[in-house]
Amino acid sequence: MQVTHNSAVLSFVTAAVLGILLLGCEPNNESITVSHPEDPTLCSFKTDVCAKTVADVEIQLSLNPWQAPSEKPLTMFVTTSKPVTNLKVKLQGRDMFMGVIPVKLAQTDKTHYQGEFVYGSCSSGYMVWSAVVSFTIDGKELFTTFDFLADNPG
């Protein structure tokens, strides 16, 4: 009789513990929204191109789609105010290491370039990428960076 009683108690305790654990696994219907203050230093592709000037060369950068969604193909457009050589773009995380992603650019005319890329998502929900644009003019290699928010809600 002792064995049956112990089995019944063990079964009851196991069922009770599993019940408590399962209650803890119910989905939480409350949505948690973490807001980040708007950063005016980030490029806003929704309204316009982002522009920087280096050594009298204006570099304009834009993305399509402008929201810059993670894990989806994006097209980058780069325009220079005058012809340059060896124009390159690489993407890297501004605040955390996410690897270095080269953007393979095709030159469409003397001052226009475009290329496609995909980057991964960040678990924090707030990921700022830096597009590092380098080029050569008058024998000097120069660069600038364009910071933008991935998965921009607008």
Distance CA 40, CA 77 (A): 21
State yes or no: cis peptide before 83, omega within 30 of 0.
no
Query: Is residue 71 predicted with pLDDT exceeding 50?
Result: yes
Look up residue 89 and give its amino acid. V
pLDDT value for 17 = 42
* Residue 101 CA from chain centroid, whole number: 11
Q: What is the C-alpha separation between 113 and 108, in angstroms, rounded?
A: 5
The answer to whether residue 121 scores a pLDDT higher than 80 is yes
The answer to whether 134 and 87 are in contact (CB under 8 A) is: yes
Determine the average pLDDT of the residues in 111-122. Answer: 92
Q: Is the pTM of this model over 0.85?
A: no
Task: For the beta carbon of residue 119, count every other beta carbon within 10 angstroms.
Answer: 21
Q: Give residue 13's pLDDT.
A: 47
What's CA 64's distance to the chain center, in Å?
Answer: 14
What separation in angstroms does the CA of 67 have from each of 2, 76, 102, 153?
A: 67, 12, 20, 7
The answer to whether residue 27 scores a pLDDT higher than 50 is no
Residues 6 or more apart whose Cβ sits within 8 Å of residue 128: 39, 42, 93, 94, 95, 147, 148, 149, 150
Report pLDDT for 103. Answer: 96
